[in-house]
Structure 1
């Protein structure tokens, strides 16, 4: 049975992925700073692990026997990325799914791109870009996912762009990102060493329609 380590398991996207994976032949290690924040739905398939992604020791312990690492992290993502890479190397784990953000390659065009910089520059966009570069420079079999601005619509509707292509659209549902992550976990040969922009089709504009 495939074993997946979910880093940042309390995150909204991660919780959708975790629920999706209950229907698959997958064992999950749910890694988060406070295990009391989550309740396991199926103890046969899920195990809570309390730890910090800023601790190399915690990550190495959690990666024992793991096939795939799915990282849904916030905060100090640069140090987290360094630790994840080092821990995976130490434990011989190759497959990584890493949630990043749009704009890390300055790939968002036009007025939306300018607006996105205004919202995310000053420490957020720069750190996610640096973390992504660390991952791309590693020898891991990574997939970096760059979502558009996220919403909680109950829908799965998305299209992909590759690194080097202009980003499309302005928004996407968390459920859509979770669907993509779930598909990659189910078929790990998908999108190896690729960085994917993800958006809902036909949502072009100067900013997300719901943003005020």
Structure 2
């Protein structure tokens, strides 16, 4: 089924991989790909010369403008960050309801439920601090949204050229300490192509066999 896909925060490190991988499919499985960014220059290096690709400069906190952009979209993938992430999530949810778009894929963070046991949980909390609070605020908004959402809670990112991951679900202890950006992008792309998967789920994602007090690259 062809679809229109809106990516919020399209210049983010995960979103750029997703965009790069989806570009070849615009005009086939994807009818239109809309990339929302605050700074379009951050998309430099991506080949966006496709009539099915639209770059929109906008602020997600402008709810009415955002709802206009969302009109006719099949699904929304949010790759946002910031101290006001809870407010951003609230604006996205409100705009989706206004535009009558139901499917949302949202990047959160590991630790938003206090679901990481042991030393790594303490390290993660200390390292993320108020950033984790912002992700937790946004997670609560998405979970209360009555939308068809999937929350993705990645471990700490690394850049190995691999797709290798396992998932945990809300209520389960988080596994692992790290995850490749390629792996997170792979899960996002699977949900874009088959949006009936994992509706209403909050999914932790990490590389198998990476348990420890901190990611192995941390010193």
TM-score normalised by L of structure 1: 0.96
Cα displacement string for residues 37-69 of structure 1 (whole angstroms, at most 9, x for unaligned residues)? 324434233110010112112311210210100
List aligned pairs for 1:172-191, cutoff 5 A. Answer: 172-191=179-198
Query: Which residue matches 2:66?
Result: 59
Q: 2:170 aligns with which of 149, 163, 166?
A: 163
Contact residue 158 and residue 200 of structure 1 kept, 8 A: yes
Distance 2:107 2:52 in 1: 23
Are 1:22 and 2:23 counterparts? yes
Judge which range, 8-17 or 43-52, deviates more. Answer: 43-52
Contact residue 4 and residue 73 of structure 2 kept, 8 A: yes
Judge which range, 155-164 or 39-48, deviates more. Answer: 39-48
Are 1:87 and 2:106 counterparts? no
Query: Which residue matches 1:7?
Result: 8
- Structure 1, unaligned runs of 5 or more: none
Distance 2:81 2:68 in 1: 21
List aligned pairs for 1:96-107, cutoff 5 A. Answer: 96-107=104-115
Are 1:45 and 2:52 counterparts? yes
Aligned residues: 211
Superposed structure 1 runs of 4+ greater than 6 Å apart:
none
Contact residue 22 and residue 45 of structure 1 kept, 8 A: no
Distance 2:49 2:148 in 1: 29
Judge which range, 35-44 or 76-85, deviates more. Answer: 35-44
Cα displacement string for residues 75-108 of structure 1 (whole angstroms, at most 9, x for unaligned residues)? 1211110000000000000000000100000000
Are 1:35 and 2:61 counterparts? no
Q: Secondary structure at the match of 2:164?
A: coil
Q: Secondary structure at the match of 1:4?
A: strand
Q: Secondary structure at the match of 1:119?
A: helix
Distance 1:34 1:127 in 2: 22
Contact residue 115 and residue 206 of structure 1 kept, 8 A: yes
Q: Secondary structure at the match of 1:209?
A: coil
Alignment RMSD (CA, Å):
1.1
TM-score normalised by L of structure 2: 0.93
